[in-house]
Amino acid sequence: MSDFQPILTEHIHQKECHTLSFYISVGGYSALEKVLAMSADDVIELVKASNLRGRGGAGFPAGVKWSFIPQDGEKPKYLINNADESEPGTFKDRLLINKTPHQILEGMIIASYAIGCNTAFIYIRGEFFKEYQLLEKVVAEAYEGNFLGKGILGSDYDLDVVIHRGAGAYICGEETGLIESLEGKRGWPRIKPPFPAIEGYLKCPTVVNNVETLSNLPHIINRGPEWFKSIGPEKGPGPKLFCVSGNVNSPGVFEEPMGIPLKDLIFDLAGGIKDGNELKAVFPGGSSSAILTAEEALSVNMDFDSLAEIKTMLGSAGVIVMDEKVDMVQACLNIARFYAHESCGQCTPCREGTAWLVKILTRITSGDGNSNDIDMILEITDNIGGLIDFSKGSFGKTICPFGEAVAWPVRSFVEKFENNFRQYISQEESVT
C-alpha cells in the first residue's frame, strides 16, 4: 500500500462527508475566501504555475485554457463543469460528486471567478440521477450559505450554478458536443475554430472543465502551486484519482500521485488479479486509450508523458484490467460496439467506420473472418483516427477526438494481440 495521503478523497470515508457542514468543518471554502481577495488574473497565473492539467482525458493545462477567455468582451462568459462521465472504465467523478460535492462546487466558484463568469453549469450525465438530486441539494445549501448567488461571501461577485442533466450520449463528454447539448440541441460536436473559449455556449466564451480538475483547485489555492508541483512528475503533477476495474480483486478508485507505477496500482491497491490468474492486458486510461500488454503494463508509470511514450495515454485514468481468460477479440468487439453505439454520426469516417468495424469484428467472432480482415481493421482505424505518426501527436480525421478514441483501442488490440485474431480466423478457415 502506498503511503500517499489522499487529498481530494481525504474525507470520503467519513459519514455525511457530502454535507456543507462537514465540508466547512474540514476547512472547506477557505480557498474561496482567499480567491475572492485576489484578482482574477492572479488566480489564473497561480493555476498556470501549478501546472494543473485537465483530468478529463486530453490533459490540457487548465490555467492556459482559462487564459484564452477574452477578458474585454461584452458577452457573458460561462463555465461548464463536465460531469458527463461516460468513458468506460472511469467512475471517479461519480465518487467525487457523491462524497465531496462541495469541493467541486468550491472549485467551480474559483474557476468562475478566475474567468469572470456569472453563470456556471454542471453538466451531469443523465444516468446519474441520484447524484443529480444530491447536487441539487448541495447547490441549494451553497446558496443558503452564500457561497453562491449574489455577492458571494460579502464580495461583489455573483455566481449562479445550474445543474443540467444530460440524457445518455457519450459524445456530450466532448466539450463542443456538451455545449451543443446544453443549448438544447443534439450533442453534435462543433467544428473548430471557433474554439469554445471564444465562441462556446450561446456563442459566448466558455470554459469546460472536468469535475476532478475543478476539485483540485481549492487545494492548489490553499497550499500553493509549489506544493502541487511537488506531487508526481513536474510536467503533469498533482494527485490523481485512478479507477481500477475489470478482473481485479478489489476494484475501486484510488487517489495516488501522478506517476505511480501501474503495477502498484493493480497489484497493491486493487489487490491483484482475480482468482490468481495471469495479467493479460490493461487499458491505462479508459477504453479510448491504446491497450497495454502485461509486459508494458508492468513497467509503465501512470502519468501523461510516460504513457504517451509507449503510445497510449492517461486519459481519464480508468484502468481496466483483463486477465488471461479474457477473449481479446470479444473484448475488442465490445469496445468497438460501444463506439459504434455512441458515434454521433456527424462525420463520415466515424459514422460509417465504427459500424464497419463492428461488422467485421462480428464476422470474425462468428467465424467468417478471413486473413485480409486484420489489415483491413488496421486500415479502417487509420482512416477514422488517422494514426499516421504517434510522435507528432494525434492526426484525427474527424471533427472531435472521438475518431481517435475509436481508432486507438481497436488498433492496439489488433496490433498487440494479433495472434488471438489469427486464431479465430485460422480456426474457421481450417474448418471451411
Partner 1 sequence: MSDNNSHKDSFEYVNPDLVDNILSQYPDKRSATLPLLHLAQTQEGYISNAVVDTVAQITETHPAEVMDCASFYTMFYLRVQGRYILQVCQTLSCSLNGADALVDHITDRYGIGPGETTPDGKFTLMKVECLGSCGTAPVVQINNDYHEGLSKEILDELLESLQ
Partner 2 sequence: MPLLKIDNAELEVESGITVLQAATANRIEIPHYCYHPALETVGSCRMCIVQIEGMPKLQVSCNTFVGEAPPDKKIDEKYDMVVHTQTELVKQGRKNVLEFLLLNHPLDCPVCDQAGECFLQDYAFKFGNAHSRFEEEKRVRPSEYLGSQIVINQNRCIMCTRCVRFTRQISGTGELFVQKRGYDFKISALEDQPLDNLLAGNVTDICPVGALLSTDYIHKNRIWNLHEQPSVCQDCSVGCNINVFYQKDRIFRVSPRENHDANGYFICDIGRYGFHRFEEIERMTSPMRRDEEELTEIQWDEAIKVVAKNLSDAKEKIVFVASPFHTNETNFMLGRFQKGFFGALPLIEEEGITYPSGFSINSDRSPNHRGMNDVCPSILEDMASEIDQQNIKVMYILDDGVDRELDQEWKEILMKMDFVVVQSYALTEVAESAHIILPGLAPFEREGTVTNDQGRVQWLRPSLPLKGKARPDWRIIMEVVNTMGKQELSYSDVGEILAEMGKCFPAYEGVSLFRLGDYGLSINGKVKSS
Q: Dump strand ranges (E) for 5-154.
A: 78-83, 119-124
Smallest distance, Å, CB 90 to partner 1?
7
Chosen residue from 354, 381, 412, 420 binding partner 2 by CB under 8 A: 354
SS3 421: helix
Beta bridge partners of 218: none
Q: Is residue 54 close enough to count as binding partner 2 by CB under 8 A?
A: no
Smallest distance, Å, CB 317 to partner 1?
12
Between 150 and 341, name the residue whose CB sits nearer to partner 2. Answer: 341
Sheet holding 119-124, edge to edge: 160-165, 119-124, 78-83, 206-210
Between 120 and 360, name the residue whose CB sits nearer to partner 2. Answer: 360
- Near partner 1 in 247-286, by CB under 8 A: 247, 251-253, 283
At residue 81, φ and ψ (nearest 5 deg) are: -90, 115
Chosen residue from 59, 89, 238, 257 binding partner 1 by CB under 8 A: 89
Q: What is the DSSP string of 280-341?
A: EEEESSSTTSPPEEHHHHHH-EESHHHHHHTT---TT-EEEEEETTS-HHHHHHHHHHHHHH
Part of the chain binding partner 1 (CB under 8 A), chosen from 33-41, 180-188, 208-216, 257-265: 180-188
- Which triple of cell numbers denotes residue 92? 471517479
Q: Is residue 206 close enough to count as binding partner 1 by CB under 8 A?
A: no
Chosen residue from 360, 361, 410, 425 binding partner 2 by CB under 8 A: 360
Query: Which residue carries 469496445 as its cell?
Result: 335
Smallest distance, Å, CB 346 to partner 2?
4
Between 222 and 325, name the residue whose CB sits nearer to partner 1. Answer: 325
Q: Dump strand ranges (E) for 45-192.
A: 78-83, 119-124, 160-165
Verify cis geometry, omega within 30 degrees of 0, for the bond prior to 193. Answer: yes
**CB-hemisphere CA count at 13 Å for 91?**
13
Smallest distance, Å, CB 284 to partner 2?
24
Instruction: Render the burial of 122-145: b for 16+ CB within 10 Å, e for the rest.
Output: bbbbbbbeebbebbeebbebbeeb
Smallest distance, Å, CB 60 to partner 2?
16
**Nearest residue to 115 (alpha-carbon basis) of 159, 147, 150, 85:** 159
Q: Is residue 399 close enough to count as binding partner 2 by CB under 8 A?
A: yes
85 contact, one of partner 1, partner 2, none, CB 5-8 Å limit per kind: partner 1
Smallest distance, Å, CB 21 to partner 1?
26
Q: Which H or E run contains 279?
A: strand 279-283
**CB-hemisphere CA count at 13 Å for 112?**
28
Q: Is residue 18 close enough to count as binding partner 1 by CB under 8 A?
A: no
320 contact, one of partner 1, partner 2, none, CB 5-8 Å limit per kind: partner 1
Chosen residue from 386, 422, 428, 429 binding partner 2 by CB under 8 A: 386
User: What is the x/- site pattern for partner 1, positions 346-365, by CB under 8 A?
Assistant: --------------------
Q: Which H or E run contains 41?
A: helix 40-50
* Binding region for partner 1 (CB under 8 A): 76, 85-91, 93-94, 119, 125-130, 160, 162, 164-170, 181-188, 202, 243-247, 251-253, 283, 287, 318, 320, 322, 326, 331, 334-335, 338, 341-342, 344
* Binding region for partner 2 (CB under 8 A): 169, 186, 188, 191-193, 340-349, 351-356, 359-360, 363, 372, 376, 383, 386, 388, 392-399
